[in-house]
Amino acid sequence: MGPAVPVLVNGITGAMGYATAAEVVGRDGLRLLPVAFSGRRAGQVVACEGVAVELQPYSVEALAALHAAHPGLVVVDYTHPGAVHSNAALYAAAGVPFVMGTTGGDRARLQAEVSAAGSYAVVAPQMGKQLVALQAAFEHLGERYPGAFAGYTLAVTEAHQAGKADTSGTAKALVASFQRLGVAFEVPDIVKVRSRDGQLAMGVPEEHLAGHAYHTYRLTSPDRLVSFEVQHNVCGRSIYAQGTVDAVLFIAARARERSPKTLYSMVDVLAAGML
């Protein structure tokens, strides 16, 4: 085994960033850098599994210097939906491979920007291993059997912790697959549940109100005599942190081998057997 891959986790002050940083510390072949970037908390120190992580202001020059000092560096981004475009541009300018776990922004534009920059990156709306496989399965169904559910109506409800600002990227991806299957449904029609009462009504355990993903997709035939329901309930953040770390190892390997392809999704990580 070669030297451990150095990893910088931006957004470590948030629950998802912290969970990922902790997974990095516990995973063989990875090393958590004792530094991260922050817009509002620069100067603070975050303790994570025995590693004291100093928060510094965002800077292309600072990131480039870290890259030079720590060859093979990979950045993980779990910041804010409004920062995905500017942060991706910063990582590209510094020439650092990255994993964009933050959802939000204009995803088509983001992928186009990252691709044009030639940055090695995994950009995905969903980092959970098994959820990635489910998403890939529905993408296949949509491509293989277009229009199979034409005329059916769809109802989508997704519950997440109150602090999640945007609509679930997984829900958006599955809706796109249902659209290819012939269902007339638009992303704004997704019902977002962020209230405590609503989450409890969906069956979220009280101890997991601060971190969960409960999704229900219900298809109903035009005559209402046939219905299909897909549901996934996730408590905690370990499923996403584990998948993110797999993506770090994947993109580090692609960068080392100078792969001609630079932009990847979690489906690519799955196909490579990294999950």
Question: Phi, psi at residue 98, to the nearest 5°?
Answer: -150, 160
The active-site residue, picked from 67, 160, 172, 212, is: 160
Only one residue has tokens 């638009």, namely 186
Tokens of 212: 């969960």
Catalytic residue among 67, 164, 172, 212: 164
Residue 189 three-state SS: helix
Where b means 16+ CB within 10 Å and e means fewer, 39-71 reads eeeeeeebebeebebebbebeeeebeebbeebe
Element holding 89 (H helix, E strand): helix 84-94
Two structure tokens written together for 145: 């059997």
Q: Which two structure tokens, joined as six digits, stand for 126? A: 């969903």
Question: For this structure, is 164 an active site residue?
Answer: yes
* Residues labelled as active-site residues: 160, 164
